[in-house]
Structure formats: C-alpha cells, structure tokens
Structure 1
Amino acid sequence: MKIAITGASGKLGNWAILKLKEKTAAENIVALVRTPEKVANLGVEARAFDYNQPENLATALQGIDKLLLISGNEIGKRFEQHSAVINAAKEAGVKHLVYTSLLKADQSTLALAPEHLQTEEALKSSGIDYTILRNGWYTENYTETAQDTVKQGTLYGASGNGSINSASREDYAEAAAVVLSEDAHTQKTYELSGEESFTMQEYANALSVVSKKEIPYVNLPENEFANALEQAGMPQPVAAFYAGTHTATANGDLSDEGNTLRDLIGRPTTTLQEALTKALH
C-alpha cells in the first residue's frame, strides 16, 4: 500500500507525513513536491510533482494507492490545478483520493470557497473513491503573527463578534493520516474544526494573558481594515482578501460546533492558549 502526499514541503504536508509515519512504515509513504531535495529530511521517497505541469502528474502517481491532495495556494488557479491532479490520479489507477477542502464550502462566503466546491464536485464525479476533509481555519493564521501583535500593542480586525473554531495544522494533518490509514472513510465529507470557540476579542484577551501585556482589540469596518493593512505594507489584493476573511468570520463562516475532528484524532484539539504559548515562548 503506497500513500502519497502532495505539497509535502509545505507546513500541512510536512505534518501529514510525520503523522502518517506513526501509522505506517516510511517505505509506504511518498512525498510529492516540486523540489524533492527539500523533503530529504522526512525519510520517505520523494517524487517531483508540480500542479502546473499536468503532463507529468500521472507518471509521478504510478503505483500510488491512496493520495492526499492538499489544496494549492494560488487563488484563481486552484481548480485547474486540482482537476489536473484528479485526472492524473484516475489515469494512474489511484484507488482513494483525500482532498483538503474548506469548512462549510457549500455555504461559506469566503472568497476561497468556490474553487474548493468545484474541486469537490470534480472529485465526486471522477469515479475515484474519495474523502473530503473540510478543514476549518488554522490557529496558526493568528498565532504566527502573535509576536508582531504584542510588539504593536494592539490587535486590529474586522470580525465583530464572529466566532472561530480553529485547530492547529498538526490536528488537521493527524485527521488526514487517520483517514489515509483506514478504509472506513470513503465517500464521506467531514466538517473539521476545533472544539474551542473564540472571537477576536477573546483572542486578544488570551494573547494578553500569555504575553503578560494588555492587548486591546480594535474592530474596524472592512474597508478601513483593508486600508490599514495596505498602509502597513500589504499588497492591495492581499489586504482586500485578508479583510474579507474577517467579514466572513463575522458572518459565521469560521464557526462550527461539531466535534468530528476531535473524534477522528481521538484526542482534544489544540487549545488557543496552548498554541499561543508555543508561538510566544
């Protein structure tokens, strides 16, 4: 049984391979990555795999039984890239394809949602056994800038009182490893999110506790937040996208009260305080 992971040099892909190595022998795992040398430290076979070179994908997937397709990061190109992978997987005889989608992809107002939903539909119509992992937000989306926020002294946003049920990349990667190493998950779509819910005000409160420095939260209208991000040096399209994710948060798109992720990994999901403590110390 050969299991392959796309995007293996990325943060989620790295975690997925580490978690999979806890469940199967390293020789059963293949890292798919544009530059195989980048993942030499993972101790598994690495094959060249570039979403933008569809003519080479089926060859790279020869002998693969199960495939984790980690969604690409080029917004606007992702459906084309994902479709190429799905077609190559079918050509190569991959038996089970697992895709990392977006929480509530069929309802979400996030700009990311349409390409995820298109990919889900393409996968379902491909004839390959599938599992769709609708991942919620990564807690690292917040904690990776925690040190900068503490230095700045104020947390800005446009999320209002919108609730967020995020989880760590490690949590989501472990769920993917479980699904890849078991046979009970085909033809299923899982909404995955952290157990703990927090607003950006509550995030600021937690940041204040962990940093031992009072960090107020200032909620701005979306356009003002986007302008502030631009003034801080963020390119305009990125600033607009990021501010839009805060409006989607206010709309409830990052909130989910299910415990499917916890149940899949068999342990509590990583708490915000745990993640902040790791980020700041």
Structure 2
Amino acid sequence: MAVCASSEPVERYRATPSAAFRPGEYCGDLSPMKIAVTAASGRLGHATLRWLSGGIGASDVVAVARQPERVLIPGIEARAGDYHSLDSMRVALRGIDTAIMISAPVAGGSERITLHRNAIEAARQAGVRRVLFTSIIGNGGEMATLFAATQRVNRQTEADLQASGLQWVIGRNALYLELDLLQMRKARETGVYRNPAGTGRCPYLTIDEIAFAYARLAADKSQTGQIYNITGEALTQAELLREAGVVFGLDVRYETQSDDASIARFRELMPERGEAVAHMLTGCFQSIRAGAFDVPSHFQAAAGRPARSVRELMQDVAVAEAALSPGTTP
C-alpha cells in the first residue's frame, strides 16, 4: 500500500520505464529548471529520480535524503536533508526551482505534521518556487475508519502547503500495487488471501507508474494550483486476484477478514512497526470496503497519457523481476 514503508532493497523496485519520458512530446512549459526530490532514498523517490534523470537530464535533478549515500542514481547530485531539521532542509533546497516533497513515513502520533511543515517552511526560506506533495486518495469516507488519523495528517499538510504562499500541486496517490501483490503471492502457501476490504473497489498503481506522473508534473512549470488523483483502474480484491492469476499463475481465492483479525495479523507480521501502523493498515482495507478510495482518476491530466491497466502493471512487475533474477519464474 502507498502508506506502508518497507525494508526491502530499493534495487528490487528499480524503475522500469513503461513509456518514454520525452519532454519534447509533452505540451507544457518545460523550460530549464532545477528539480529536487526530498525523502529521496525510498522506492518512490528513486523511481521519480530515474524518470526525471531520463527526461530532463541528471544535471538538473537533486536528491535530498537523510542518508544521501543511499541514493543510487548515477549522475544525480545527492544532498543531506532531514525533515526533522528545518535548517538542513533549507540548505539542501538552495537553488531549487521545484521540489517534489515525498510524505514522511507513517508512525504513531502527529509528528508527521511537524516534519512536513519543516519541509514546506524550508522550501519557502530557500526560495523554492513550487512544491509538489505526495498525498493519498480518499473521498472523505475514510475519516470514519482506522485510517482517519493518517489521512488527517495528509489533509493538514495539503492545507499547510496551500497556505504557504508557494506555488503548489497536490497528488493523491493510489495504493501501491507491488505491496498488495506481494501479500497475494505469499498466499500461495494457504491458497487463501484475506483482508477486510470485502467487495469495495480501489485503484492500484505501481510505484514506477506513480513516479512517472510526478516527474511529468514537476517538469511542467504550467502545472500549479491543482489537486490530482494519481490513480488508474479500480478493482475489487477478488478481481485483483484474478488478474494476478493470469499474470503470475496464482491459484488463490479471496475471503473477507474481520477487522480484529486484520489488526492481529499486522501485529504479527510487523511487530517493529507498532500498534498505530497495524491499525492504519487495517484502516486502509476498511476504507476500500467503504468505497472511500474509489475516486475519479486524473492520471492523464497529470501525466499526459492514460494510466496503464492493472494487468499491464503486473506484467511490468514480472518483467522487472525476471530482469533482476534471470532464469526464475514469478
């Protein structure tokens, strides 16, 4: 899911472009500028950096991360910057025209609001003109679920950015296909995939597909003052499993799980993440069940092309895995 951090190696999710990012084919203001990606050492950051590097050139792209040595993109300048330190972020963002502000990892408490405010204020003080924020989809129905605490942080950050005096763009991301696909494939062991989503519909995109949209938005100066749902095809869990069966040969059925059982499962799977994350992840599935994530897609307006279908995206994942592990099957 889009809101769930992972300890899996970044290299496993290296961007595998699904369509060329050629500035000359895009109708917008693509005049030269310096673009930074903050919190750049994770998977969305790396994928966005790769699209930008291929599209506008590595020399015009800057990665900002707490541990800049973890940025693995050749030719891109990596600067140290930590959302906990306004000063470090201000220094890291000097000379930047547009910043893609990737949201801080989910944790307990309201610290993420402060971290995001630090990043916004640092951008303002550093003279950044435009900030893009990576938020999460939702039509408001999620506020009656266990996902509400996380979503309140996202919506507060959106409001803070809009009130900052900076030019802004807000992207509300679909859920990450790779993360749910991983759990579906693990369900081969039992033949049953369970969660509380029921028959609710939800859009999924790969990290690379979401990154493509942010790279295109960032590269076009005319994109400002808009909120985009960075989403594509919306499926039920059973439909998602059927697509996985076609692409990966899964023979797994879907069963609805109780909320309490879901919380217990996440506690067992990720004890190091704590109670708040177990509740948040269960809240994601509650939100799907409630129809809160079944929102209109603005992907084409953001990215200049339609989103790829879930089957195509699964095929992208299979191709990427085969390239990383020749001779293996998904």
TM-score norm. by structure 2 comes to 0.78
Q: Distance in 2 between matches of 1:74 and 1:159?
A: 21
Work out which of the residue numbers 121, 140, 144 in structure 2 matches 1:87.
121
Give the equivalent residue in structure 2 for 1:146. 184
The 5-angstrom pairing of residues 94-133 of structure 1 reads: 94-104=128-138, 108-109=142-143, 110-111=147-148, 112-133=150-171
> 2:240 — aligned with what?
203
- CA–CA distance in structure 2, aligned partners of residues 64 and 233 of structure 1: 37
Cα-to-partner distance string for 1:60-108 (whole Å, 9 max, x where unaligned):
1111111110001033321110100111111111011111111137553
Instruction: Tell me how many residue pairs correspond in the alignment.
Output: 279
Instruction: Give the aligned partner of residue 70 of structure 2.
Output: 38
Paired AA for residue 158 in structure 1: P
Paired letter, 1:84: N
In 1, are the aligned partners of 2:194 and 2:256 still within 8 Å (CA)?
yes
For the pair 1:55 / 2:87, whether they are aligned, the reply is yes
**Aligned letter for 2:170?**
I
* CA distance in structure 1 between the partners assigned to 2:134 and 2:142 by the alignment: 15
Query: Structure 2 counterpart of 1:206, which letter?
Result: E
- Mapping 1:240-259, distance limit 5 Å: 240-258=279-297
| Residue of structure 2 in register with 1:189 after alignment | 227
Task: Give CA deviations for 1:138-158 in whole Å, capped at 9, x if unaligned.
Answer: 212312333312233210111
What is the percentage of aligned positions where both structures have the same residue? Answer: 28
Is this contact kept in 2: 1:207–1:215, CA < 8 A? no
Cα–Cα, structure 1 residues 233 and 124, in superposed 2: closer, same or farther, change >3 Å?
closer
- In 2 relative to 1, CA 155–128 (structure 1 residues): closer, same or farther, beyond 3 Å? same
Aligned AA (1:21): S
Cα displacement string for residues 30-56 of structure 1 (whole angstroms, at most 9, x for unaligned residues): 000111111143320110011112232
Q: Which residue of 2 aligns with 1:266?
A: 304
Q: d(CA) in 2 for partners of 1:116 and 1:91? A: 22
1:26 paired with 2:58, answer yes
Which residue matches 1:7?
39
- State the distance in 2 between where 1:134 and 1:47 align: 26
- 1:211-250 pair list within 5 angstroms: 211-231=248-268, 234=271, 236-250=275-289
Cα distance in 2, alignment partners of residues 24 and 217 from structure 1? 43
Shift of 1:188: 1.2
Query: More deviation in 149-158 or 89-98?
Result: 149-158
Rounded to whole Å, the distance in 1 between the matches of 2:295 and 2:52 is 26
Judge conservation of contact 1:143–1:275 (CA < 8 Å) in 2: no
Whole-Å separation in 2 of the counterparts to 1:206 and 1:70: 29
Kept in 2: contact 1:106–1:117 (CA 8 A): no
CA RMSD of aligned residues (A): 2.0
Q: Is the 8 A contact 2:98 2:131 kept in 1?
A: yes
* Runs (5+) with no aligned partner, structure 1: none
- Distance in 2 (CA, whole Å) between partners of 1:177 and 1:52 is 25
Matched, 1:168 2:200: no
In 1, Cα distance between equivalents of 2:265 and 2:159: 37
TM-score w.r.t. the length of structure 1 is 0.91
CA deviation after TM superposition for structure 1 residue 255, in Å: 1.1
